[in-house]
Every structure is written in structure tokens, then in C-alpha cells.
Structure 1
Amino acid sequence: MENNRLSVNQAVFSIVLFNFGSSVVMGISTCLAQDTLLAIFTATLFALPLFLIFARIMKLFPEQDIFEIIETLFGKVLGKLIIALLAFYAIHLAALVLRNFTEFTQVSMMEKTPQLPIIILMGLTAIYLARSNIHAIGKWAVLCFFLVLFVVMITFSASLRHIRLDDILPLAEHPPKQIFQNSLQIFSFPYGETVIFLSVASAFPKGKSHHVFLKALIIILIIFLLVFLRNLVLLGQKMMEASLFPSYVTVRITEISDFVTRFEGLISSNFILAGIVKISLCLLAAAKGVMALFQLDGHKAFVLPCGILAMALCAILFKSLM
């Protein structure tokens, strides 16, 4: 019998890596320099009630996913329309994240490699993981979380000697309106995307959804602050704005010791492993949405078509990040 339930740690780390996903590669919004720290805090405060709403929905509708809940509350006609929109959103989000990581792979490691093979390899990996049960995604998330956490901590530790108060002061230098607008950007990406987890609500630990979301939010906040501070003190504001992938550039110039340098290849692999968690969860949500839309049994048969559609959409979303 398949294990289709997540443990507490698997659920927490899945949410963390989902939010961490492309954010760590693309970088958190940096237009406010050191005031981005305030924007991150404010965005997290905005995300707190949102996460609590998600947890409350899971408590009110135990053993049900968002698609079942929608049809129960809105009826068949309006419910089907909302389900179709959510399924398309999941496919579109998977395509966006896949495109971010294929661009990252091409720019950072494989400049002469066409994007199509990279898209296919990452897409097939995510499809395989999504076709496995949610427990497999949870185990993958636990493994990747500790790898990513190790990278963040080791590179942040290496940046401590470069930290100067001048880099993070003065705080609140920008108008409150700008900080608020920047907070909304961070709130929508990546916090708002966490709605995808309602599609796997039935897999969450019973009665512990509030604990899972709160714990995940605290970990996400800490990691975002550490990553941004590391990038700011090592690159500086202008270099961060000029870099397509500031976190990768930061890791590339980091020296752990006189003997350990230029280990960005290993780090890049860890980033990609984390991104696969987000893509696979999006494909799983899309497949469940299609299943609910047509009232069929079993979502696994729809993972491959949704994955192929996401890969096709990924290739035509935009010409280039450059």
C-alpha cells in the first residue's frame, strides 16, 4: 500500500524548498538595498495570516484537497471554472520555474548547450518525482533541505568577516510606500505561490497544519535574511542589481579557506535539486486539477501530459532572461 501522507518534517521542508526554489537563484528583490531587510520582514508578516488561512482550510476540510473543497462550496459549474484556472496556474508556474532553472543552468554552467535538452532532462525528472507518491517528494525535500541549508550556512559564515555596518545602515532610508510595494512583490513571489499546497492538503499530518505552516514560515524568513545579507555584503547593491543570478555569483567568489575555492559547480547542482521539488509539486497539483475537472480516477496518468505541456510552455514563455 502506498504511503500518501507526509510527516511533519517532510511537510515543513517541502514548503520551505517550494518558497526557496527559484527565489534563491533569481534573488530576492534588491531595489531597496539594505531596506530589503525591512521588506522581507513586512512580507513575512503579510504571509502569516495567509499561511494560517491555508492551515485553517486544512483543518475545516480534513482529508480533502482544494479541488474537492471548491466543488463542494461553489457547485459544479463555477467550481469547474475555478478548478480549471487553478490547474492552468499550476502548469504555468511549473513552466516559469523550469525556465528559470534552465536559463540558470545555461548561463552559469553550459553556455553552449541548447536549452531544449536541459528543459527535457529537468522536466522528466520532475515528472518522475510527481508520478511517485507525495511521500517520495517529501523524502526528496528533506534530503535537499539539508544540502541547501549547509550551503547557505557555510557561505554565510565565510561572509561574516566582510560584514560592515555601513552595508546594512541606515535602515528605513527609503519612503514607507516603496518598502510596502517591495513587500507586496516578495509576498506574491514566493509566499503567495504556496497556495499550491492546498492541492495536497489530504497528505498533511492530521491536526498539525498550523504547526507545519508556522514552522516553515520561520525557517523561510531566516534563510531569506541570511541569503540576502550574504549577497549584500559580498556583492554590494550595484553588483546585485547587475547580476542575473546574484546568489550564484556570491557563491562563485566565496572562499571558505585558502584551499577550498570555486565550488560553485556543486552548489549549482544543489540549487537545481531544490528547484525540482517546486516543479514536481506544481505538476502534481496540475494533474490533480485535471483529474477533478473531468471527474476521473487516479491523477498519475495526467502527470506526463501536464509535464509535457509545462515544458512546451517553458520554451515559449519569453525569448531570454538576458
Structure 2
Amino acid sequence: MGKEIIPAGQSISIVILFIIGSSLFMGTSGESGNSSWIAIILAVLLTIPLMLIYARLHVLFPGKNLYDMLIAVFGGFIGRMFSCLYIWYTLHLGSLVLRNYGEFSKTVALTSTPMLAPMLIVGLLCIWVVNAGLEVVGRSAKFLLLFTLAVIIVVQLLSIPKFEYQHMKPLLDSGWGPVMQDVAGSFTFPFAEIVVFLGAFTVLPRKGSAARVLISGVTISGVIIIGVTVRNLLVLGPEILSSLYFPAYVAVSRINVGDFLTRIEGSSAIIFITSLFIKVSLCLYVTCQGIARVFKLESYRSVVLQTGLIMVCMADFIYKDITQMQYFAYHIYKIYALPFQVFIPLLLWITAEIMAHRAAGREEDVQ
């Protein structure tokens, strides 16, 4: 089959929907109360240098994905070991996102339906679209992003009458300590999770579009998450906000325009489903690419169905309950994810730069 190439616009749409996936409804780490929006701004600023490193890897290894880079730099054995770690991470991340949706359905939307049913439906849809190819995911993401932005803007405007600006005061009342904890939490979830996109770098055009895609995607998604976080804070207040599992859903449910326009939280929930659909699809695609690369399969499509079903089954038993899910997301994940998001990519980048410098030196000696 021909090689897939996705235009920059579609790639940016994938990045934005991937980042806002779960965080739009679960919220980000909220230790700092009414100063949480400051933590998100700092997390975005901290993520941008990391995106430049990811983009530099695309320049050093044009036409290669994360697994190709690892094997090229660290050799067959160690490179495949690192690749197996990323196969686990992307499979696990996809399962976590599916479980977020399962808990949301069980808690809010479909309280009488077994949690496995909605997760299986989304999982099968992701299997179908990944089997069709990442170009289909890209076209879907571009359309779904326009719909998502439209709904977010309308909901933001309708929320304005419910804003209580005293919830913003006093700013930094607990000091910078909780803010720094939230910076670490927001950096790893959701922004630095875009390390998954390195596994799909082969779909980017060879010319330097990676920096544009990653930085634009992170910046736009950061603005969206900051806007939603501030809205939730102004509508609910920091005390109520910290006690909720899905604060965005509750905040939107407060909208009441003249007793005529009410109960619009259902339309807001659709955004959650569309964005997590893209996030799970990308995780599934990158997991299958890794399996195909490590085991030298002809095509990743031969393992999409099996891997997708494993992801759904894993999502069903990965947590005991919603309390455990929230604790892992806000406390354990920021430690667990750092090696995948920062340490291994940094090691890969530094080693690749040394190899490129030595290769350039040898070429000069030959001349």
C-alpha cells in the first residue's frame, strides 16, 4: 500500500484533539485552587522546548517514526527494548482514556448500562478507523475539530451570566508550592502525552513541518484548556471544583438561559467523545506500528483488531473504581509518564546529535 502522508492542517487537528481528549472533562491537576490556570500557562511554556526537541528528531530522521529512530540509534536489541516500552505506554494510555469514558458513562450519562458496552463501541470504532489508515483519522480530526471549537465557543458565551468573579480571589493564596505541583501534573497530563505522535512521524511531509504541527497544536489546545478551566472556576468555585470527578459537565449543566435553553450538557459531552475517539485512535495506531516494527510484520493492519480488543479489555479491569482512576491520573501518572515523555526522548535526541556530529566530521575528513 502507498505511504500515508497527512497535511499539516490535519496533523494539527489530531494534536489538538489528542491533547484535549480526557483533560477537557476530567480537568487538569487542581491542587492550586483558583490559581490552576496559572499552572496550565506555565505547563504550556514548559512543553514548547520539549516540542522543539521532538521536531528536531524529525529533522534528524526524516521519514522515520519513533520506533525506527530508537532502533537506528540504540541498535537492534536495546532499540527494540525501548520500542517495547513505548508499545506498552501507548497501549496503556489508550486503555486509560477508554476507562475515563467508561467511568463518565457509568457515573453521568448511562448509569444503568454496563461500563464495558460504551467502551467497546468506541473501541470498535477506533479499530475500524485505524484499519482504514491514519489519513482517515486526519480527515475526521479536521472536521471534528471545527465542530468541537464551535460547541466550546457557544458554551463559553452562554456561561458568562453564571460567572462569579470573586472565585478568582485571592490569587496565589496558597503560595507557589501547589502551583508547581499542578505544573508538573498538567505538563505530563495532557501536554507531554503528545510524545505518542512521534510514533506517527512517518505521515508528516519530509520538510520541516513537525515544529509547526507540534507547537501550533500545543498552543491552541493550551488556550482551549485554559479557557475551559477558567470557565469551570468562575461557574463552580475552587471548593466545588476540587470535589468533582467531571467538573466541565457539571459547570455546563448550570447554564440556564431564561428557563428556555437548559440541559445543554449533553452537547458538551459529545465533545468529550469526539476528542477521546481521536486520542484512542492515535494510541492504537502507534501501538500497532510498534508491534509491526519490533516483530517485522509486513503491515500494522494485521494486528489492529487484536490490539484494539486488548485495549478495551484492559480498560475494563485497569482500575477498581473511579476514585482509583482519579488518584492515578493526578498523583501517580506524573511520575510514571516522565521516562516516556522526557527522559528517553532526551537520551534519543542527545545520542542522535552526537552521531550526526560525528558523521559530519567524518565527511569533512574524507573531503
Q: Aligning the two structures, in what range does the TM-score lie when normalised by the shorter sequence? A: over 0.9
- Kept in 2, the 8 Å contact 1:152–1:226? The answer is no
- Map of 2:362 onto structure 1: none
Q: Structure 1 residues 256, 56: closer, same or farther in 2, change over 3 A?
A: farther
2:222 matches 1:221 = yes
- Map of 1:77 onto structure 2: 77
1:118-133 to 2 correspondence within 5 Å? 118-133=118-133
- Map of 2:290 onto structure 1: 289
Q: How far is 1:31 from its partner? A: 2.3
1:228-239 to 2 correspondence within 5 Å? 228-239=229-240
> Is the deviation greater in 232-241 or in 258-267?
258-267
Deviations 1:82-114 (A, max 9, x none): 011100111100100000011112221110101
Deviations 1:170-206 (A, max 9, x none): 3232222321121011001111211100011011233
- Kept in 1, the 8 Å contact 2:5–2:135? The answer is yes
- Map of 1:276 onto structure 2: 277
Deviations 1:44-74 (A, max 9, x none): 1110111111111112111111111110000
- Kept in 1, the 8 Å contact 2:106–2:115? The answer is yes
Could you tell me how far apart the structure 1 residues matched to 2:168 and 2:3 are?
Answer: 47
What root-mean-square deviation, in Å, do the aligned CA atoms of Structure 1 and Structure 2 show?
1.5
Q: Secondary structure in 2 aligned to 1:57? A: helix
- Map of 2:326 onto structure 1: none
Q: How far is 1:231 from its partner? A: 0.4
1:1-322 to 2 correspondence within 5 Å? 4-205=4-205, 206-256=207-257, 258-322=259-323
- Map of 2:356 onto structure 1: none
- Kept in 1, the 8 Å contact 2:10–2:141? The answer is yes
- Kept in 2, the 8 Å contact 1:83–1:293? The answer is yes
Q: TM-score, normalised by structure 2?
A: 0.84
Structure 1 unaligned residues grouped into runs of 5+: none
Could you tell me how far apart the structure 2 residues matched to 1:76 and 1:173 are?
Answer: 53
Could you tell me how far apart the structure 2 residues matched to 1:40 and 1:22 are?
Answer: 15
Mark the structure with the bigger radius of gyration: 2
Could you tell me how far apart the structure 1 residues matched to 2:239 and 2:172 are?
Answer: 19
Q: Structure 1 residues 226, 257: closer, same or farther in 2, change over 3 A?
A: farther
- Kept in 2, the 8 Å contact 1:39–1:183? The answer is yes
Could you tell me how far apart the structure 2 residues matched to 1:269 and 1:151 are?
Answer: 9
- Map of 2:347 onto structure 1: none
Structure 2 unaligned residues grouped into runs of 5+: 324-367
Could you tell me how far apart the structure 2 residues matched to 1:154 and 1:236 are?
Answer: 21
- Kept in 2, the 8 Å contact 1:38–1:172? The answer is no
- Kept in 1, the 8 Å contact 2:31–2:179? The answer is no
Could you tell me how far apart the structure 2 residues matched to 1:122 and 1:168 are?
Answer: 37
Q: Percent identity?
A: 30
Counterpart of 1:203, as a letter, is V
- Kept in 1, the 8 Å contact 2:292–2:300? The answer is yes
Counterpart of 2:216, as a letter, is K
> Is the deviation greater in 16-25 or in 168-177?
168-177
Could you tell me how far apart the structure 2 residues matched to 1:311 and 1:182 are?
Answer: 30
Counterpart of 1:28, as a letter, is T
Could you tell me how far apart the structure 2 residues matched to 1:87 and 1:244 are?
Answer: 29
Counterpart of 1:61, as a letter, is F
Could you tell me how far apart the structure 1 residues matched to 2:223 and 2:31 are?
Answer: 20
Q: How far is 1:2 from its partner? A: 5.2
Question: How many residues matched?
Answer: 322
